[in-house]
């Protein structure tokens, strides 16, 4: 079974620029999550999808962050414009019904 | 909302046992997890316990759950230098779609 794929693995941008991250979940997993992990902290949920619908986006800074999951498979997380405090690791995870979160390797973002 | 707390650091000698502790606030937590994160790497699921269990053992790992005190612990027997990493406690809440609430992580340092 292939794991959760994410790209890019690393990204360096300047503040006020835009950036996008891509996630391909495990085949057949209906639920997809994006977590943000700031250095020295545990991951925090940004958004959760069930198929292509949003289940929970209460912690997503909607003035600058957006996410979509077209066709209920791949997902894209975008930041526009980026701030210094957005420097973090962005983790994508997927799960089957009642299954455990399976995490991808993450995208490390540095905003200068 | 749910809050998960961990001590930040633990230092042990190689061959000793390590005990990493975690407390949580929501009594409707269903699954409780332990993840390991090595520098620059993603999250590795170590073990998990369902909320109706008191203990789970998996080779060198023992998880203890005290539901009354909302306390979870991870014991690593015969700790090795390769166990040096950050360990995260995470909980999922009944009826909240499988998202995880993480603690801030405990950095385990194993000295030879």
pLDDT at position B40 is 82
Phi and psi at B83, nearest 5°, equal -85, -10
pLDDT at position A110 is 98
pLDDT at position A99 is 77
What mean pLDDT comes out for the span B27-38?
Answer: 89
pLDDT at position A57 is 95
Lowest mean pLDDT across A7-11, B16-20, B35-39, B41-45: B41-45
Contact B97 A31 (CB under 8 A): yes
Rounded to whole angstroms, the Cα distance separating B97 from A47 reads 12
Phi and psi at A27, nearest 5°, equal -55, 130
The answer to whether residue A31 neighbours chain B at the CB level (below 8 Å) is yes
Rounded to whole angstroms, the Cα distance separating B47 from B57 reads 9
Report percent pLDDT > 90 for chain B: 79
Residues 6 or more apart in contact with residue B11 via CB below 8 angstroms:
B108, B109, B110, B111
Residue B38 CA: distances (Å) to CA of A80, A89, B53: 30, 14, 28
Report percent pLDDT > 70 for chain B: 100
Q: How far is B92 from chain A (nearest CA, A)?
A: 10
Over residues B44-91, the pLDDT tens digits come to 999 999 988 899 999 999 999 999 999 999 999 999 999 999 999 999
Residue B20 has pLDDT above 90, yes or no: yes
Residue B42 has pLDDT above 90, yes or no: no
Contact A91 B102 (CB under 8 A): no
pLDDT at position A100 is 83
* A26 contacts in chain B (CB < 8 Å): none
Q: Low-confidence residues of chain A, pLDDT below 70?
A: none
Residue B23 has pLDDT above 90, yes or no: yes
Residue A11 corresponds to which tokens in the numbers above? 């990204």
Phi and psi at B55, nearest 5°, equal -150, 150
- The helices-and-strands tally (H runs, E runs) of chain B is 0, 11
Identify whether the C-beta of residue B16 lies closer than 8 Å to the C-beta of residue B79. Answer: yes
């Amino acid at each position: 079974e292939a794991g959760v794929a994410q790209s890019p693995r690393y990204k360096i941008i300047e503040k006020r620029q835009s950036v996008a991250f891509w996630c391909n979940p495990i085949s057949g997993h209906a639920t997809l999550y994006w977590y943000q992990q700031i250095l020295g902290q545990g991951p925090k949920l940004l958004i959760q999808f069930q198929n292509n619908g949003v289940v929970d986006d209460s912690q997503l800074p909607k003035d600058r962050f957006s996410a979509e999951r077209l066709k209920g498979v791949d997902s894209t997380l975008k930041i526009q414009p980026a701030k210094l405090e957005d420097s973090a690791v962005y983790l994508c995870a997927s799960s089957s019904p009642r299954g455990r979160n399976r995490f991808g390797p993450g995208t490390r973002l540095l905003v200068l | 909302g749910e809050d998960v707390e961990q001590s930040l650091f633990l230092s042990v000698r190689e061959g000793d046992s390590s005990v990493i502790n975690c407390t949580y606030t929501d009594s409707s937590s269903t699954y409780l997890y332990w993840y390991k994160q090595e520098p620059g790497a993603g999250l590795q699921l170590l073990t998990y316990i369902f909320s109706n269990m008191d203990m789970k053992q998996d080779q060198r790992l023992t998880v203890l759950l005290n539901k009354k005190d909302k306390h979870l612990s991870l014991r690593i027997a015969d700790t090795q230098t390769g166990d040096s990493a950050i360990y995260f406690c995470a909980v999922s809440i009944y009826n909240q779609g499988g998202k995880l609430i993480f603690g801030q992580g405990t950095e385990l340092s194993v000295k030879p």
